[in-house]
Amino acid sequence: MKTIVWDVDDVLNDLMGAWFAEAWLPAHPRCPVTYGQLTQNPPHQALAVPLQEYLDSLDEFRAAHGAALVPDSRLLEWFHLHGHRFRHMALTAVPYGIADIWAGWVVKHFGHWIRSFNFVPSPRAGDAFPSYDSNKADFLKWWARADIIVDDSPAHIAAAGELGLTTFTYPRPWNHSSESVAVLLESLARQE
């Protein structure tokens, strides 16, 4: 049975879209860009703010609303139809201080299939804990059991490809994927 590694933010859920609509735009009503114009992640340059201001806003949103994020219904349907044919794990980059919220969210919505939650801490000021992996590729190299990865980050996809994993880029404005979610999920179902 092949193992699929799932990113959480902006794959299993729409964190950036929810944050942008529910937190950023209400606090910045004159924001000159749309969600579709966030062609870099992190999007602080498009928003014309320092990186730390963006991270603070995103982290506040994650802490306050992360547990209530809605899972992508297309993925839930895919899991119901095809999830039993693969093993699954979550691998996300999230600040250490809120990783427990993300772990609970994954188990609540996808725990029927995803039985392993893993994270590489996104560094934040004041962090003081052992750093085993500096990125997802380091974790995947150490773990050495993955076959497929689904992620929205071009950098994570490229690094996983270099490790020999089959890669699927979940379409978001910052990765310029020309593939639709429907086509991605159809292709993923054929990877058995």
How far is the C-alpha of 152 from the C-alpha of 31, rounded, in Å? 24
DSSP 8-state symbol, 112? T
Beta strands in 122-165 (DSSP E): 148-151
Helix (H) or strand (E) holding 29: none
Verdict on whether the full-model pTM lies above 0.85: yes
pLDDT (average), residues 130-157: 95
Helix (H) or strand (E) holding 72: none
107-127: pLDDT as tens digits? 999 999 999 999 999 989 888
How far is the C-alpha of 91 from the C-alpha of 116, rounded, in Å? 9
Whether the bond between 42 and the residue before it is cis, its omega within 30 degrees of 0, is: yes
> Where exactly are the structural domains of the chain?
3-14+70-189, 15-68
Return the half-sphere exposure (C-beta side, CA atoms, 13 A cut-off) of residue 60.
Answer: 11
22-34: pLDDT as tens digits? 999 999 999 999 9
Question: pLDDT at position 167, please?
Answer: 98
CATH superfamily to which 3-14+70-189 belongs: HAD superfamily/HAD-like (3.40.50.1000)
